[in-house]
Structure 1
Amino acid sequence: MDSAELELLTATLRKTMTTTPSGPALDTALTELGWRELLAEYPESAIRTVFGLLGETGAHASSLNDVMGGGTPALPYAGGAWVVWSPTGPGTALDPELPLRTVPSGRSLPVSAGRRALGWWLVGTGHAMLTLARTHALDRVQFGRPLASFQAVRHRLAETLVALEGAEATLIAATDPLGSLLAKAAAGEAALTAARHCQQVLGGIGFTAEHPLHRHLRRALVLDGLLGSARELTREAGARLRAEGSAPRLVHL
């Protein structure tokens, strides 16, 4: 897939996600656009594009089930819990906007591709929060000056961008299970950094249900726990490196 084709696909997907209701309707729309065929032929481009846009637009679809092999597999969640991505069925929903339901147990599955997908979703969510905070900082005037002119505000926005771009670089470099684990951890940490800084930049309005930030913030918190939270994955990586006594080269520069 060349750059022109990818650009056209991205524009089409973005329009679809912003005009189609999340859930079954969006699942159908993505299927009609050839999401599964794209995943089979160009897996990394498909994952990066679709899940990044899910984060940026605030939409949700069951695409993660496709990445995990199809069906509705039980997925590990933070704290030793298990969940399924299903709009119906027993179990407690983790979030009113996401069809993630708790189940008693599950079986071990290959999770590397799923972690990369969630990583791009988290990065996209972080960029959505950064856009909201940046727009507010440019439009809001305090003490006769735009909020964006204050150094403390600019530092928070800059730190958010650096964290998100660092997570993107880690996701691009991830080619094996350890790299995918570290990339998901970096993306989760970046999204949580974005949530913290952007809420501070937005001030009081960022704590209200009237502003869209709270939806992205909640999405970041829920997605961070899926297939291992940033904290758990960091501990797991550290334990693995201690046990092996060395750190593998993840990127060849």
Structure 2
Amino acid sequence: MMDAETADLLGESLERAFRHAAAAEVEAALDEVGWREALAEEGGAVVPLLFTRQGMANAASGALDDLLTAALGLPADAGTAFVLPEFGGYGAPGSTEDGALALRGLGTARMSGAARAVVLAAGRDGALRAFTVETGKLGVRPIGGVDPRLGLVAVEGRGLTASGGSAITAAAWEGALAAGRAAVACELIGASRTMLRLAREHAVTRVQFGRPIGAFQAVRHRLAESLVAIESAEAAATAAIEPDGGVSPLPAGMAKALAGRNARTVARHCQQVLAGVGFTAEHDFHHYFRRILTLDGLLGDARTLTRELGEGLLRDRRLPAAPCL
């Protein structure tokens, strides 16, 4: 396991990497830091170190591509992207029939410049296989939407050759989903922390009636409730990552749902504290608000995950074991 000193050094290096503006520059900086090597050695233990900082910086990278590709046991590199499920969903984005592969999903900022992409596809019998296809054979279309800075793209393909591929068990896909959900949860937490920082800075500098607005109880309560929401989401994300670097599917789903819901709570309170300035294009708050709305929809949104987790608990009549912290 990574010791505390090494984790601090890696965290500082990752923080510097996310100071770059363009996604390509971030990718190059992550290569220099050795992100993929750390992922191979430490597994999920490095997920909070990277994705929390990525969320705090409102940055975009292909780190999620690396994480999901490696979680399926496939080689991850800067030239390999991963086709994500469509927004709000988490099923396999591809399907195979009569030797042909069709797909419809999302790609991160890496997709446009990648040479190849990993696609998880389900056969007619439900069996899963992972295919690696050339991105030149795919239709890749930039997505504007609420957060164009994230660099998401729509990815489509039809009539592709579905030969070879790696067999993927349902358990392996659940494990990859768990790792991805833990990562996105950490990114939501990072974005929430920056929203709270921006609101706090405004509260101590904005003066009304001769006093900083942070002196008023109503403002303090909103900031305090935001902090509680962030800390509870972080506790859930921490509990989802096991000491050996593995990620548990059920706790990861709970962490992703909680992080998505709590990020909206933080955004609502911080917008109230920031008041009119929070609506302006010049202030950074709206970039983070847009980011959490988008991140919530990746690999299952909070509402869908909460409903399905609840249905599972009612069906099994058994609560999950409490994590050992």
TM-score range, shorter chain: over 0.9
CA deviation after TM superposition for structure 1 residue 181, in Å: 0.3
- Please list every run of 5 or more consecutive structure 1 residues that lacks an aligned counterpart in the other structure: none
Compute the RMSD of aligned alpha carbons: 2.0
Q: 2:254 aligns with which of 182, 205, 209?
A: 182
Alpha carbons 1:129, 1:216 under 8 Å: kept: yes
Letter in structure 2 aligned against 1:103? V
2-structure distance, mates of 1:185, 1:15: 29
Aligned pairs (5 A) from 1:136-215: 136-174=202-240, 175-215=247-287
> Is residue 83 from structure 1 mapped to residue 106 from structure 2 by the alignment?
yes
Say which one has the larger Rg: 2
Alpha carbons 2:140, 2:156 under 8 Å: kept: no
The answer to which structure has the higher strand fraction is 2
Q: Which moved more, 1:38-47 or 1:165-174?
A: 38-47
2-structure distance, mates of 1:90, 1:103: 5
Q: Please name the residue that 1:68 is paired with.
A: 68
Q: Please name the residue that 1:46 is paired with.
A: 46
2-structure distance, mates of 1:4, 1:252: 23
Q: Secondary structure at the match of 2:201?
A: helix
Q: Which moved more, 1:242-251 or 1:57-66?
A: 242-251
Q: Please name the residue that 1:132 is paired with.
A: 198
Q: Please name the residue that 1:243 is paired with.
A: 315
Cα 1:105/1:74, change in 2 over 3 Å: farther
Alpha carbons 1:179, 1:250 under 8 Å: kept: no
Letter in structure 1 aligned against 2:154? T
Q: Please name the residue that 1:35 is paired with.
A: 35
- Please list every run of 5 or more consecutive structure 2 residues that lacks an aligned counterpart in the other structure: 70-75, 90-103, 113-138, 159-167, 241-246
Alpha carbons 2:87, 2:106 under 8 Å: kept: no
2-structure distance, mates of 1:59, 1:79: 21
Alpha carbons 2:88, 2:299 under 8 Å: kept: no
CA deviation after TM superposition for structure 1 residue 96, in Å: 1.6
Paired-residue identity, %: 45
Q: Please name the residue that 2:12 is paired with.
A: 11
The answer to which structure has the higher helix fraction is 1
TM-score relative to the length of structure 2 = 0.73
Letter in structure 2 aligned against 1:82? G
Letter in structure 1 aligned against 2:252? S
Q: Secondary structure at the match of 2:82?
A: coil
2-structure distance, mates of 1:177, 1:250: 14
Q: Please name the residue that 1:117 is paired with.
A: 183
TM-score relative to the length of structure 1 = 0.93
